[in-house]
Amino acid sequence: MTHNPTIKRALLSVSDKTGILELAQALHARGVEILSTGGTAKLLAEKGIPVKEVSSVTGFPEIMDGRVKTLHPKIHGGILARRDLQSHLDAMTTHGIGAIDLVAVNLYPFDQATAGDQVKLEDAIENIDIGGPAMVRASAKNYTGVTIIVEPADYARVTEEMGSNNGATTLKTRASLSAKAFAHTARYDGAIAAFLTSLQGTEGDLNDVPARHEYPNVLGLQLHKVQDMRYGENPHQSAAFYREANAPEGALANYTQLQGKELSFNNIADSDAAWECVKTFDAPACVIIKHANPCGVAVGHDTLQAYQKAFQTDPTSAFGGIIAFNRHVTRETAEAVAKQFVEVVIAPSFDAQAREVFSAKQNVRLLEIPLSVGSHRFDFKRVGGGMLVQTPDLKNVQQADIRVVSKRQPTEQQWADLMFAWRCAKFVKSNAIVFCKDGMTMGVGAGQMSRVDSARIASIKAQNAGLTLADSAVASDAFFPFRDGLDVVVDAGASCVIQPGGSMRDEEVISAADERNIVMVLTGVRHFRH
């Protein structure tokens, strides 16, 4: 068998026309005969590229509004025939079937067609591609003789390889494109299955605009491996990092690493916690994460001031931490950060001088991520034999939504401190108690089984850092079940508290706030983070 057959005949039929003209021009320049259908054929012909309609090959017109056009033995036989089997070659001769050596196909945009809330079932059904996936799968199955391209990004790769390989692609390339093609059709079928199994209250009438359940009966995930990791959470565990097929632009998975050692499993997990927190702030902000919890969060006039305030919260825990900024990082900020031991620094961008500063510490990993607040559709938590699925915790409480329940009213400064503290508490593991003042965390108590213990730990950490909690604001991610937790934070110096409320003993806790002459406000929103 010839492992690298010269490409002499290609079939191009794409929904996404990006780059198809350039591909066709490159193929035509090499003397490749081009077959095509519908809009693709029309586009190529208009641009002066010789193209043969598939219908002229099959001897059968496109029918049923284009539902049937490539589903024909002269197409699929040309794709599926094994070049190393004489019986297949004889069948091609007998039936006048010409070999098709390259197939460039991408599918009807089902995801886009079904993205809105008012999608008619008929429109969804008509955007289910049949001939396209059939050609993609046939080509991918026969990759020993056929090159299949489903992504415009691969057009140049193929034509460049043809140019250096006597008009052929290598078996290695065809095999990798085949795997990509099967992943492409799997994701496509998964999207269709998710849509159809989410329908409710419909008998399948094509004229319906069916209601859809937020959680389909079949939920397919497609993740693409970014890299193998040296190990997982612990050295005896193996691990890999995968990216979602449609990860939002501003998600951690879309990072660009500028320098430093390979990211570890724990680096990535902690970096995600840092990035998700810091990008919620409007002012220049810095978040320092250690073991998935913020050990310092602050806003400032610029990134340098934000970093200095965040680091002051807990210098001990910041050692070997993950630092994230929501603004461009300058030389001055880089010089301050570089004085400490840090694992990862994240920002939307770094200037040349900042990168020069960090270059002296080659082990420090620098990550650039686009600053975008777009979020994924679902959050997932793996359990034994299953998956918990929920929407992301994107609830932002505004001051106007908050109810003052104490006799004492908040001052303007207290409002600012309370709102800052509430935003920070959302990213601290439950049970969370966070002391804040003047745009910085003063003490963070995280992940305790008792809210009272979290309160005690937060005040102890503030004392250890030499910070005074006098007139500070405290945020609790969930309600105080008893007044004891409230007494701990007031004894430590808090003058105002923000919490969701909703306890059977709310009145007891509110009365305690009045007794201690502090401000208490209720958000009505809980932020558990497990």
The CATH code of the domain that includes 326 is 3.40.140.20
Contacts of 178 (CB under 8 A, 6+ apart): 139, 140, 141, 143, 148
> What per-residue confidence (pLDDT) applies to 301?
96
Provide the residue range defining the domain that includes 262. 250-394
Residue 209 placed within a domain: no
Kindly state whether residues 327 and 442 are assigned to the same domain: no
Kindly state whether residues 374 and 411 are assigned to the same domain: no
Neighbours of 64 (CB within 10 A): 7
Kindly state whether residues 64 and 92 are assigned to the same domain: yes
Sequence-distant contacts of 379-384: CB under 8 A, at least 24 apart: 380/221, 381/530
Kindly state whether residues 353 and 292 are assigned to the same domain: yes
Catalytic residue among 52, 120, 261, 291: 291
Catalytic annotation present for 291: yes
H or E element at residue 141: helix 131-141
Contacts of 329 (CB under 8 A, 6+ apart): 303, 345, 347, 349, 350, 351, 354
| Cα–Cα distance measured from residue 513 to residue 490, given in angstroms and rounded to the nearest whole number | 9
What CATH number is given to the structural domain containing 21? 3.40.50.1380
Q: What does DSSP assign to residue 436?
A: E
Residue 240 placed within a domain: no
Residues of the chain with pLDDT under 50: 1-2
Strands 33-36 and 440-445: unpaired
Residue 207 placed within a domain: no
Kindly state whether residues 85 and 116 are assigned to the same domain: yes
Residue 130 placed within a domain: yes
> What per-residue confidence (pLDDT) applies to 203?
67
Q: Is the dihedral of CA 332, 333, 337, 342 positive or negative?
A: negative
Kindly state whether residues 482 and 410 are assigned to the same domain: yes
Catalytic annotation present for 95: no
Please write the tens of the pLDDT for every residue from 398-439. 999 999 999 999 999 999 999 999 999 999 999 999 999 999
Residue 227 placed within a domain: no
> What per-residue confidence (pLDDT) applies to 119?
83
Catalytic residue among 28, 141, 180, 376: 141
Strands 9-14 and 33-36: parallel
Query: Of 394, 420, 441, which residue is a domain's last?
Result: 394
> What per-residue confidence (pLDDT) applies to 107?
86
Residue 241 placed within a domain: no
Kindly state whether residues 277 and 386 are assigned to the same domain: yes
Query: Of 349, 376, 394, which residue is a domain's last?
Result: 394
Residue 140 placed within a domain: yes
Kindly state whether residues 104 and 44 are assigned to the same domain: yes
Residue 436 placed within a domain: yes
Please write the tens of the pLDDT for every residue from 323-358. 999 999 999 999 999 999 999 999 999 999 999 999
Q: How many domains does the chain have?
A: 3
How many CA atoms are closer than 13 Å to the CA of 2, on its beta-carbon side?
10
> What per-residue confidence (pLDDT) applies to 1?
46
Kindly state whether residues 31 and 50 are assigned to the same domain: yes
Kindly state whether residues 50 and 96 are assigned to the same domain: yes
Query: Of 361, 394, 427, which residue is a domain's last?
Result: 394
Kindly state whether residues 127 and 52 are assigned to the same domain: yes
Kindly state whether residues 189 and 264 are assigned to the same domain: no
| Cα–Cα distance measured from residue 405 to residue 511, given in angstroms and rounded to the nearest whole number | 9
